[in-house]
Chains A and B, each alone.
Chain A
């Protein structure tokens, strides 16, 4: 029991931040992201003995979390259909130049199509290779690479197109 607890704590400490961020970019809400992470780790605890390879832990957790998220959609399909991305607001205070840029870029990332955003998050935050992402999302690798290309391409275009808009955030 002690070793299971130790393994669990190591998993939580090592991976909860990545998992939370991934969850956040899936659902766009802090509270829901936190619930998803809680539920994911709860399930992870129950199935911890089935995790043989610690290196696979991150993709294992991501898979659990994706399933949890899908379940949330099944439960709340009606509510979710009224969901509007435009209403998402990031309530954190904008103190520095960096924060402002992040805030602005976050909105851009949020406005990316879901199918582009998810591989990007998995690659940048999760550090997964194209192949691993393809496995996680049950896509083929070329599709993943194309989506990654489009995601960055759109963000780059957005960055280049909207210097004026960025200025308004500055004051």
Chain B
């Protein structure tokens, strides 16, 4: 190893453990002396480079981080709580909606569903033993009075008509029972005056305090029923 290369190498890295350098130092006293000089220089450089570090720097770094992560932790907890609350709230809303939402959007659909649901309980041959007095007692809650029974009344009772308290009357019809619903005025079911499906037909009339729906089979003269109702029911003021 020539002198120039030796010097360059020592300058570049005085603490190199390169074997050639070690050998050169061991065999050449001049090189050894030079290497020692540079090592001393490096010692000085090291001392100079070691500028004083602020005493509490590490404590501050740790403190700051601990504080920060603690706050993050708190935020996370709050976040989780908020999420849990939101989920619970949404769940509650959904359940509520499913229980109490109105699955039908017009009186016709609901009336058919109601009739179909109870069809098995009524037949045209059933006993017609509801008196006018008991009918009118119930009708009183709609501020109405029947002057006559209209026909053979088999059943008269309060029903839930899509969540609304209503009066459900079942009459004997020509071939099958005729259902009459007296329902309060409402917003959530669309009013349709005439409606029909493959088996049944229905009509709705508006009155002062209630709407009256008549549902019967296709052969039933609903027009006549409506006329009778109109003439027989009187509404108190």
Contacts and interface: CB of A to CB of B under 8 A. Distances in A.
Interface of A: 1, 5, 8-9, 12-13, 16-17, 20-21, 24-25, 30, 34, 37-38, 41-42, 45, 92, 98, 101-102, 105-106, 109, 120-121, 123-125, 130, 145-146, 148-149, 152-153, 155-156, 159
15 contacts: A5-B66, A8-B65, A20-B51, A20-B53, A21-B49, A34-B57, A37-B57, A102-B47, A105-B45, A109-B48, A120-B45, A125-B49, A148-B11, A152-B11, A152-B42
Nearest to A119: B12
Given A5-B66, A145-B12, A102 B48 contact: yes
A31 B75 CA distance: 31
Interface string B52-90: 111001101110111011000100000000000000000
Contacts, number: 102
A24 B51 contact: yes
B53 to A, nearest CB: 5
A5 B73 CA distance: 13
Nearest to B54: A34
A92 B13 CA distance: 30
Chain B interface size, under 10 / 10 to 19 / 20 to 34 / 35 or more: 20 to 34
A30 B41 contact: no
B49 A20 contact: no
B230 interface: no
A104 to B, nearest CB: 8
Given A20-B54, A102-B48, A152-B38, 15 more contacts: A8-B62, A12-B61, A12-B65, A16-B53, A21-B51, A24-B51, A25-B51, A37-B57, A38-B60, A42-B68, A101-B48, A121-B49, A124-B45, A146-B12, A159-B44
B8 interface: yes
B237 interface: no
Interface string B29-40: 000000000100
A148 B13 CA distance: 7
A98 B47 contact: yes
- The secondary-structure label for the interface of chain B is helix
B11 A92 contact: no
Contact of A156 (B41, B48, B73): B41
Interface of B: 8, 11-14, 38, 41-42, 44-54, 57-58, 60-62, 64-66, 68-69, 73
- The secondary-structure label for the interface of chain A is helix
Contacts of A123: 13
Among B13, B48, B52, B60, the most chain A Cβ lie within 10 Å of the Cβ of B48
Given A124-B42, A149-B8, A155-B41, A9 B62 contact: yes
Contact of B57 (A16, A102, A145): A16
Contact of A152 (B45, B47, B53, B61): B45
Given A21-B50, A149-B11, A155 B61 contact: no
A106 B48 CA distance: 6
Given A16-B57, A34-B57, A109 B13 contact: no
A140 to B, nearest CB: 14
Contacts of B42: 124, 152
B45 A12 contact: no
Contact of A16 (B48, B58, B68): B58
Nearest to B38: A152
A145 B7 CA distance: 12
Contacts of A155: 41, 45
